[in-house]
Amino acid sequence: PEKKVLIVYAHQEPKSFNGSLLKIAVEELTKQGCSVTVSDLYAMQFEPRATRNDIFPLFWFNMPAILKGWMDRVLVQGFAYDLSKVYDGGLLQGKLSLFSFTTGGSKEKYAIRGDIRYLLWPMQHGIMHFCGVKVLEPHICYAPENVSEEKRKEMLAAWSQRLKTLWKEEPIDCSPEWYFK
């Protein structure tokens, strides 16, 4: 069966490095025969604030406000989870998620503050795993604006290569041990 891919894109500049990662993902996954939908939150002028028309008793953790707003408004009770159906029993079982992002700081700078996995716990475990979604290892491009053009090309090539074998990857073990070992 055809794989359906939803890319939720939260960057305001299409010509950015994130824009290049998006372009490669759309091209590669389309080439694989996937049906790819891109929700470009800035282009859509997505309204991140919850209104009185939205019902969501649970607020998520940290990420860009526009992406957090999308999660608050889309991953709602009854669709993404039910209080009796969470984690491995969540309503979005059978779905995969992959967080791909860039950082301002180098990998070494993040290591000083502790493993970057600590920052991912709320998003990957607290949101995706909570809703029953399996989580793939995140794809992190550290400080693309602070490296050479050659290094940026290597980062883009690594992303493209990863996408070619994406469906063979095993999800991470979404336990505290994976994040806090």
Average pLDDT score over residue span 101-113: 83
CATH code for position 41 = 3.40.50.360
Domain span at residue 28 reads: 4-180
Tell me how many domains the chain contains: 1
pLDDT of residue 153: 98
**39 three-class SS:** strand
Distance CA 72, CA 39 (A): 15
Q: For the chain, what is the largest distance between any 2 Cα atoms, rounded to a whole number of angstroms?
A: 50
Report residue 24 as tokens. Answer: 């490669």
pLDDT of residue 55: 55
Average pLDDT score over residue span 167-174: 96
Give residue 62's pLDDT band: very low, low, confident or very high (50, 70, 90).
Answer: low
Higher pLDDT among residues 147 and 57, named by residue: 147
Over 60: is that where the pLDDT of 61 sits? no
Higher pLDDT among residues 66 and 50, named by residue: 66
Nearest CA to 111 out of 144, 140, 78, 131 is that of 140
pLDDT in tens, 6-47: 999 999 999 999 999 999 999 999 999 999 999 999 999 998
